[in-house]
Amino acid sequence: MSKTSKIQNPAQTESLLECIHLPSDIKALSDSQIKQLADEVRAELIEVCSKTGGHLGSGLGVVELTTAIHAVFDTPEDRLIFDVGHQCYPHKILTGRRDRIHTLRQGGGLSGFTKRMESAYDPFGAAHASTSISAGLGMAVARDLSGEDNDVICVIGDGSMSAGMAYEAMNNAGAMHSRLIVILNDNDMSIAPPVGALNKHLSKLVSSAPYINARDLAKQVSEFLPAPLKAVAKKAEEHARHAMGSGTLFEELGFYYVGPIDGHSMDHLLPVLRNIKDSTRKGPVLIHVITKKGKGYAPAENSADKMHGVAQFDVVTGTQNKPKSLLPSYTKTFAETLIAEAKTDPKIVAITAAMPSGTGLDLFEKEFPDRMFDVGIAEQHAVTFAAGLATEGYKPFCALYSTFLQRGYDQVVHDVAIQNLPVRFAIDRAGLVGADGSTHAGSFDIAYLGCLPNFVLMAASDEAELIHMTHTAALYNEGPIAFRFPRGNGVGVDLPDTPTCLEIGKGRLVKEGTQSAILSYGTRLAEALKASEQTDSTVADARFAKPLDTNLIDQLVNTHEILITIEEGARCGFGAMVLEYLAQAGHLDTGKLKVRTMTLPDIFQEQDKPEKQYEEAGLMARDIERTIFSLLK
């Protein structure tokens, strides 16, 4: 790719951003113009997100950092990985996608995360957290094996350093000699002292080639000293680094540490990045950058949680145009039910992994601050932490998105299922999730939990059923139990004054018909009922995927020649469990029974409006009708 700038004379144009088509164009700018460019990127980002919605606060926090990286390094030859990927909006504006940025998170438009198939400037897709250092190290080693000399830069932040995977990667990288640049975007000052002029000077100093070479030489010389002197020299070097604000944790992991520096000052960022770029030092480097989430837009700075992910909003006031619904959300219904349960049962505790508001547990925390635990982006720890609580007689509710529970799967198997511990898994965002696309869709939990011995699996068909299932989980103490529910609002059924404890493994007959039987698991029940109006079908709500209500299945197949199962999950889930039972019970031996399973398609569905996704998946009422009519013919 050519590095020739397309800007003839930047000083003659009022808007620099209009002239930046690729990062190579930034090379022609002066440092003061790079500052101006960052300001224009920030304004563009606010304007775009006000119309499309999306992850605003994180992107605002890395505007200067992203602009500086592209100004100094030679992307895409130099690999730039964002972790987590929702920091990438400024990156997309600067890498040839500005003309499509208005399509962000829409059907057929730009992804809200980095995506390999979208651009050469996205070398690694990232929507889940804490993957960048592992992927970056792989790229760095591949570069070394190929005899290349490009840089690999990982920007990790927004809580991603709380996950063990990041430290596993750092431990591996520190023991190797591959050149790798990790930029820690620290946006909550959790591990940093205040940033000031002295830190700016010291960071520039310690990133300079003479200082790097001097430290490396000192380490080499100390290897030849007698043991007592070697220990004294090491301690002296550590004291020096402490005095200069260096990060001994990262140094002990084998990284050369630079920072902390002001991530919103080009006067800080550009010299340090240039020093690191020009350094010939082998091995990994960590640059500690302090940023503020929502920087440069007052509503986002003052409300980092509410402006993290936004709907369309008014730029002047920051007021979001969230559609108002009279129907309760599933998430809030779960949270309020759990609060009610916890008021009568002091053993109930709640756990989430960096998603207190997303799972509704921020409401639980207000009522029970000592009984809610946000463990950070650490799903593996969350699951085993819950297992430990369960061993001591507590009743942990581990509330995670379906897509994030995948990250703790080994712990679900080894630490919960094998030991048959009564951990309650509240699985939010089960099924399709609209604009967040394939990386956040909860497609697989039915299949990946259904194969585990000892588990009880439930799926709420509406908000009233979710209340009953939360109550049932609170009372169940025989082993692990999970219940799934979708994103969004309920369907408008009457809510019970008092929850009912469901009989484990018992479904319910919702409507009787003659032509065929529809057995629904989860929230496709409403569509099944619509389809039954045209097909005179019996409709049943399975409630449980494990254990199956085999008596209900027997009743349906003994009185109907057609059975349709439907679920908002991937293949090998509920429908597969029903088919296995039918085969083992001999229901398929006569050849009279016609069975079809309706699941999510065997693809990773791209982002779109939820109704469009359901149409693509073939899980609407008319799809059920077509399936039944084809079997009748």
One of 407, 484, 524, 546 is an active-site residue; which one?
407
Query: What number of CA atoms fall less than 13 Å from residue 294's CA on the CB side?
Result: 16
Is 235 an annotated catalytic residue?
Answer: no
Q: Where are the beta strands (DSSP E) in 38-93?
A: 54-55, 79-83
Alpha carbon separation from 377 to 212, 362, 585, 627 (Å, rounded): 33, 16, 44, 42
Alpha carbon separation from 323 to 150, 316, 355, 430 (Å, rounded): 47, 19, 22, 21
- Across the beta sheet with 348-352, what order do the strands follow? 372-374, 348-352, 395-401, 424-428, 481-484, 456-459, 544-546
| Long-range pairs of 164-168 with CB within 8 A, sequence gap ≥ 24 | 164/130, 164/378, 164/380, 164/381, 165/130, 165/131, 165/134, 166/130, 166/132, 166/133, 167/253, 168/134
Is 379 an annotated catalytic residue?
Answer: yes
One of 379, 463, 568, 625 is an active-site residue; which one?
379
Q: How far apart are CA 146 and CA 138, in angstroms?
A: 12
**3-state secondary structure at position 601:** coil
Is 100 an annotated catalytic residue?
Answer: no
**Directed axis angle between helix 266-278 and helix 63-72, to 10°?**
40
Q: How far apart are CA 89 and CA 101, in angstroms?
A: 8
Which spans in 476-538 are helix H? 525-535
Query: Could you say which DSSP state residue 420 is in?
Result: T
Chain centroid to CA 57: 15
Closest CA to 624 of 528, 547, 552, 553: 528
Report the relative pairing of strands 537-541 and 508-511 from DSSP bridges: antiparallel
Total H helices, total E strands in the chain: 24, 19
Alpha carbon separation from 163 to 11, 129, 169, 278, 360 (Å, rounded): 45, 8, 11, 31, 22
Q: How far apart are CA 241 and CA 293, in angstroms?
A: 28
| Long-range pairs of 549-555 with CB within 8 A, sequence gap ≥ 24 | 549/505, 549/506, 549/507, 550/581, 550/585, 552/506, 552/507, 552/508, 552/509, 552/519, 553/519, 553/578, 553/581, 553/582, 554/585, 554/587, 555/509
One of 42, 293, 487, 524 is an active-site residue; which one?
293
The one-letter amino acid at 530:
K
586-614 burial, b for 16+ CB within 10 Å, e for fewer? ebeeeeebbbbbbbbeeeebbbbeeeebb
List residues with catalytic annotation.
293, 379, 407
